[in-house]
Each structure stands twice: as structure tokens, then as C-alpha cells.
Structure 1
Amino acid sequence: MTTRTSTAIATLRVDGADICFELRGRGPLIALHAAPMDAAAFSPLAELLAVDHTVLTCDPRGINRSKVDHPDQDVTPDMRADDLANLLRHVDAGPAALFGSSGGAVSALALVQKHPQLVNTVIAHEPPLAELVSDTEELRIQTDDMIQTYLSGDRRGAWSAFMTSANIHLPPELFDSMFGGRIEGQAAADEQFAFAHMERATTFWQPDLSALRDTEVNLVIGIGEDSANELCDRTSRALATQIGIEPTMFPGGHIGFAEDPMAFAQRLRDVLPTV
């Protein structure tokens, strides 16, 4: 029988937003961050890590429980990095390890550039940095078209365009079950916010490659073993090449941490043996 750890849920007021965060466990601090996915996406992985870590998760600003003062304002990776910095200072458990996935990996890279003193290790798992690949102009056009398609009310068409741009291939029945119908409530609000106010700013954020090369933070670029030839595989490899490190492989695909949390937790422990 699995023993669940107790989870403390709180809200931290930051500039322009209230960030909802969760804390589990006891031990060295590791933060798990995604965007636009919320803290719930990490719950199984967080439970596994919490047996010997203090695990920090949060809803990124504008998503689910993390409310923003100005819902029509775009959210950038630098804003999310500042939110993470405020959370890490608030928790006050020493330099943290930070695992960021997808848009959260971009946030993590921004934190390395802006607040390196708060972290000792950062794993940026599949950051979608479209500025680093040769077809960035085509990707920019595709992204703008995808966003406009979504905002016009064609959810299925927008997600189809997203999957094409990302080079992710789902079985038709799975795609239909995920994106073929309407969604309501908070899920609909979060999806709308992500397309309208997060997608463009995240995908076309430009890292400071010199700062990332020179950082004293232990920086790991993670790639899913099942992500070969997908856009985030290409962008992650481009980043690793341009800052002069070898990428580190993780189980599963783009959301391997949710697909097989047990295997993913073990791989994290291998990568961070002293955390």
C-alpha cells in the first residue's frame, strides 16, 4: 500500500499575482515546475520524491489557483522565474534543485540567468526554444496561426496545428478523446490563457547563451527517450550544443514525468545523487 505524504497548500503574494504552491515531505529541497501544466501534473512524482525531499510545486501564474491581477497581460518566462525565486526565498530551505519541464524548463533557464544563487542544480527538460532552430521563422508563422485558430473558436484545429508543429503524432482516437470535444470551467479558462498569453512568449524566449555557458549552477538539459525528432527534441539538442554540454536522457516522452513517475523519479535520483 502506498503511503501518501501530507501536503501543505498556501498562496504567496507576488508582483501582479497570487501564486498557489504546495509543499510535501522533508529533506533537501527540489522544486518541480511546468507551464502551462499546474501542480497537479506533478502529484505522483512529488509523492515519490517526498519520502526524502522537501518537494515544492506550484500552479504557474494565470493557471488554475494562481490568479493574476491583469488576466489580459501576457506571462513571460522571466515573470515565472521571478515567481519561482520568490517561492524559493519564502520556503527558505537553502539552494534548491529545480526540475522544469516544457514551458517550465524555459522558466528554469530564466531563473538560472536571473537568480542563480537560489539553485544548485537545474534540469531543463525539453524547453521549446524555437529561436534556436533553423526553421524559427516558419515556426513563428505556425504559432501565430495556431493561436488565432484557437481564439477563433476552433479548438480541434488549433491542437491539430500544435501537434503538427511539434511533430507529435497521436492515434486519431486518442487525439479525438483529448481535443475533439468542448471543455468547460477551469480547464477551459486555463487552456484559453495558455494559448492567448503564454504560448508565444514562452516558445520564442531567447536565452542568454553566454550566461548559461558560464553559470556555476549545475545545468542539465533533459530529453525524453521517446521524443526523437519532435520539436522539443530538436530545440533541446540545439540548446545543449550551443552551451557545450551533452543532453541527458529521461524515460518517456515530453511528459514522461506524468507517464511513468516511478521510472522518472529513479532517473532524477540518478542525475541528482546528492539531492
Structure 2
Amino acid sequence: MNNTLNVPGAELYYEVRGSGPLLVLVGAPMDANAFAPLAELLAADHTVLTLDPRGVKRSTLEPGGTSRPEQRADDLARLIRHVDAGPAVVLGSSGGAVSALALAQYHPEVVRAVIAHEPPLDRLLPHAEELLAKSEQLMADYLAGDVTGAWKQFFAVANIQLPDEMVEMMFGGERDPEQVATERFWFGHEMRESITWLPDFGKLRDAVVVVGIGEESTGQLCDRTSTALAAGLGVEPTRFPGDHTGFVDHPEAFADALRAVLKELDQLR
């Protein structure tokens, strides 16, 4: 089922598949399409909710609107109440993991557990100010028109090794306008808001939080931020197949790993 829901300052596009316990899959800036193969696999025994975050693709945003983790958390809480199948287990990846953590922090009544897959919580690291300054520079460069230069900086900050030629091939020349719009929204309205968010460990320790890290992400920035999050929560990270986008690249293996986590969560009930 595809539908929309009006929320303060935005209209959200969402999809619902399957039946059973509610499982939410969310990214930022990744949209519902990125999770579709994984959602199809999990819909065999779950009600699976996916969405385009506010301002991304089919979800609109009022002029001058913003996309802070607190707002995205409120959006998720409203969607969970709207589909009336909660409380939910919420798997968030990247900026979506920040949204999911904010949901558990601000709206714990709608959340059974959060699986935070590689949240880019830069402020948890010792050299946070240096990292954030580099990110401010690359965001400014992107918005000024230096697209490939900004992406090269982005991958350098993220400790993801990509040849310059590959970056130029991926982000130069003619590109899909919809993808460019999503990308520009990330650099202009989501990235800063996600990487500067600080979790309240006191509140989150009262929630059930699983911290996920890709098996192929070792040494990358989100490996380090996720490890710091896990340490702050006093939990051991859980490894998932692939890297930062493992759920896209290896949906079957990722679904198997996620089912194992969901089974463990069921035993906590």
C-alpha cells in the first residue's frame, strides 16, 4: 500500500507491505525505494513500513522547512500511530539511524526496539570539531557548484577509498534530476543536522538499542561513530553484511542477519 500523511511542515510518502509485527525501515537521505528489496523479503512475516523522509523524493516540505532529527523522529512517531500496528522495531541506516535514535529518545512509547545501523554521530568522536569543519567545507563547496570536489572530500572524511576517476564518473556529467535533488537536499538540509546531533545516553539506556556496523566498514568514519555509540550505551555492536549500504547491496544476507536480531529481540519480551 502506498499512501501519504500530512505532518507539521511536510507531507510524507510511505509504503506498507505484509502483515505481522511492525518493522520500520528508514534512511536519510535514502528513500523507500532503497529499502524495497529488503522490505519485500521481510514482509513475509512482518508489517513493513518504509518512507521517503521529509523533503526527499515523493515527500514534500513546506518552503523554508527543515529536516532535523527531532522532526524526523516526530514524523516516524506519527506514521507509526497512523498505521496503527505498533509499537515498532525500527531499523534506521545512516541518517535514518539518527532519526531512529531520536525516535527512541523523544517518543519511546511507539518503539519496541531500535536497530541503529551506522549512524554518523560525529560529535561522539574525540576530533569532532575537526571533522565537522571539514564537513562544513564540503557542504559549502557542493552548494556552490563543485559537486565532484565535494564528493571527493566527503569520501575522504568518511574514510571510504574511491579513486577520483570513479567519483567523477558517479557524480559528474548528466545525471538523474530526481537523484540530484535528493543529493542537494542532503547537503543543504540533512547532513549538518544529522552529524551534529548528540544522543542522550541517559534516555537511550532505558530503551532497547542495537548498534549495527557493516562487516566491510572497518576503519570507516561510521564504524568509529557507531563503536562510540555502542560504548556509550554499554552494548556490543552487531555486525551486518556489507558496508554502509549493505542492505542495498546484499538484501538477502542482510535480511537473514536482521531476522536473527529480531529473534533475539523477541526473546526479550
If the TM-score is normalised by the length of the shorter chain, which range does it land in?
Answer: over 0.9
Q: Which runs of 5+ in 2 are unaligned?
A: none
Q: Which residue of 2 aligns with 1:3?
A: none
Q: Which of 31, 35, 38 pairs up with 1:42?
A: 35
Q: Which residue of 1 aligns with 2:91?
A: 99
TM-score relative to the length of structure 1:
0.94
Q: Which residue of 2 aligns with 1:257?
A: 247
Q: Which of 57, 65, 81 pairs up with 1:64?
A: 57
Give the C-alpha shift of residue 189 in structure 1.
1.4
Q: Kindly provide the CA deviation profile for residues 47-67 of structure 1, in whole angstroms up to 9, marking residues without a partner as x.
A: 000111110000000000000
**Structure 2 CA distance for aligned equivalents of residues 24 and 93 of structure 1:** 12
**Structure 2 CA distance for aligned equivalents of residues 61 and 175 of structure 1:** 27
Q: Which runs of 4+ in 1 moved over 6 A?
A: none
Q: How does 1:167-178 map to 2 (within 5 A)?
A: 167-178=159-170
1:205 partner amino acid: W
Q: State whether residues 74 and 201 of structure 1, in contact with CA within 8 Å, keep that contact through their aligned partners in structure 2.
A: no
Q: Which residue of 2 aligns with 1:82?
A: 74
Give the C-alpha shift of residue 186 in structure 1.
1.7
1:163 partner amino acid: F
Give the C-alpha shift of residue 107 in structure 1.
0.3
The secondary structure found in structure 1 opposite 2:81 is helix
Give the C-alpha shift of residue 170 in structure 1.
2.1
The secondary structure found in structure 2 opposite 1:258 is helix
Q: State whether residues 9 and 65 of structure 2, in contact with CA within 8 Å, keep that contact through their aligned partners in structure 1.
A: no
Q: CA RMSD in A?
A: 1.2
The secondary structure found in structure 1 opposite 2:33 is helix
**Structure 1 CA distance for aligned equivalents of residues 22 and 218 of structure 2:** 31
Instruction: Give the percent of matched residue pairs that are identical in Structure 1 and Structure 2.
Output: 54
Q: Which of 218, 225, 230 pairs up with 1:235?
A: 225
Q: State whether residues 152 and 164 of structure 2, in contact with CA within 8 Å, keep that contact through their aligned partners in structure 1.
A: no
Q: Kindly provide the CA deviation profile for residues 13-59 of structure 1, in whole angstroms up to 9, marking residues without a partner as x.
A: 00000000000111111000000010000010000001111100000
**Structure 1 CA distance for aligned equivalents of residues 146 and 230 of structure 2:** 36
Q: State whether residues 24 and 47 of structure 1, in contact with CA within 8 Å, keep that contact through their aligned partners in structure 2.
A: yes
Q: Which runs of 5+ in 1 are unaligned?
A: 1-7
Q: State whether residues 240 and 247 of structure 1, in contact with CA within 8 Å, keep that contact through their aligned partners in structure 2.
A: yes
Q: How does 1:126-275 map to 2 (within 5 A)?
A: 126-213=118-205, 215=206, 217-273=207-263, 274=266
